[in-house]
Amino acid sequence: HLKGKTALVTGSTSGIGLGIAKALAAAGADIIINGFGDEGAIEAERAALAALNGGKAAYDGADLTRPDAIAEMFERADSDMGGVDILVNNAGTQFVSPVEDFPVEKWDLILALNLSSAFHTIRHAVPGMRKKGWGRIIGTASAHSLVASPFKSAYVAAKHGLAGLTKTVAIEVADAGITANCISPGYVWTPLVENQIPDTMKARNMTREQVINDVLLAGQPTKQFVTVEQVAALAAFLTRDEAANITGANLSVDGGWTAA
C-alpha cells in the first residue's frame, strides 16, 4: 500500500528501526535508512531493502545530534527521493546512572538524540507533507514515555518529551491528512538492551540473569521480550488508510507493563 511513498526511518541500521524499515519496504515504500555502523553491513542492509521494495533504498549517515546535519539530510531526501512522506523518529540511546552522578554530556546527548532530533525532523518534514495532503509521523517512544524507572533520568525525560511533542504535532496537522503517533515498546531484545546490562549490573549490584529476570522483565507481565517484528507491524499499520483516524495516540506494545 506504500508504492510511491518515501519513508525516512532514523536510527535504522540496527534493532527496531531496521525492523520498521523492512516492514515499510515490504509494503512498497522507498526507504531512507539512517544511523551508524559498519559500512559493509549498512550497504548489505540497504541492498536487502531495495530488493524487498523493488524500488529505491538509500542510506544517509546524518548524525542526528546535529541540527545542521538533519537539515542536509532533508535536502538530500527532497532532491533524491521526492521528499519524506513517512517519518519514523526512532533513533535513540540509553545511559544508566543515579541522577546525582549522571554525566552531563550523557544528559545532553540523550536529550539531543532522543528528543530534539525529532523536533528538527518534524519541522523539516511537515511542509512537504502538508503540500501533498498526506503524511505519517511515528515516534518510537517507550514504556518510559509513560512511567519511570530509576537511574534513567535522561531517557525517561526525553521519552516523555517525545510523546508530548508527537501529541502536539498531531493536533497541529490533523486537518492536513497527516497523523502523528508514538509506539511505546516495553523491553525489546536489541543491542540497546544488551548494552545496558553491564551498567545495570553495576548500578544494582546484580548478576546478568538477575538483571534480565528481576529488572528488565520484572514489570512485563508476559515475561517475554517484545520482538522487533511486533513493533514494526504496528508501525506499518499506522501508515495504512485504515489508520487515518489514529492520531495523537501513544500505543503501548509492552506485554502489559504499563497496565500493571
Site string for ligand NAD, 192-231 (x = CB under 6 A): xx--------------------------------------
Please tell me whether residue 140 binds ligand NAD under the rule CB under 6 A.
yes
Q: Whole-angstrom Cα distance, residue 110 to residue 118?
A: 12
Catalytic hit among 155, 187, 225, 257: 155
d(CA 229, CA 217): 19
13 binds ligand NAD (CB under 6 A): yes
121 touches ligand NAD by CB under 6 A? no
Q: Is 113 in the site for ligand NAD (CB under 6 A)?
A: yes
252 forms part of the interface with ligand NAD (CB under 6 A):
no
> Is 59 one of the annotated active-site residues of the chain?
no
Q: Considering the rule CB under 6 A, would residue 191 count as an interface residue with ligand NAD?
A: yes
Q: How far is the CB of 131 from ligand NAD (least distance, A)?
A: 26
**Binding-site member from 28, 37, 67, 177 for ligand NAD (CB under 6 A):** 37
Extract the C-alpha cell encoding 47: 541492498
- Cα angle vertex 220, ends 112, 160, to 5°? 25
| 191-197 long-range Cβ contacts below 8 angstroms, 24+ apart | 191/14, 191/15, 192/15, 192/92, 192/93, 192/94, 193/225, 195/94, 196/94, 196/96
Q: What is the CA radius of gyration of the chain?
A: 18
Dist CA 181 CA 239 (whole Å) = 11
Alpha helices in the chain, H assignment, sequence order: 15-26, 39-53, 67-81, 104-111, 117-132, 153-172, 191-204, 208-210, 228-238
17 binds ligand NAD (CB under 6 A): yes
User: What is each CA distance from 58 to 8, 11, 81, in whole angstroms?
Assistant: 9, 13, 9
Q: Which is nearer to ligand NAD, 179 or 190 (CB)?
A: 190
* Per-residue binder mask for ligand NAD (CB under 6 A), 141-180, x = binder: -x--------------------------------------
For ligand NAD, the closer CB: 97 or 130: 97
* Torsion angle (degrees, nearest 10) of CA 158, 97, 228, 189: -170
Q: How far is the CB of 113 from ligand NAD (least distance, A)?
A: 5
Positions annotated as catalytic residues are: 155
Which residues contribute to the site for ligand NAD (CB under 6 A)?
A: 11-17, 34-37, 63-65, 90-93, 113-114, 140, 142, 185, 187-188, 190-193
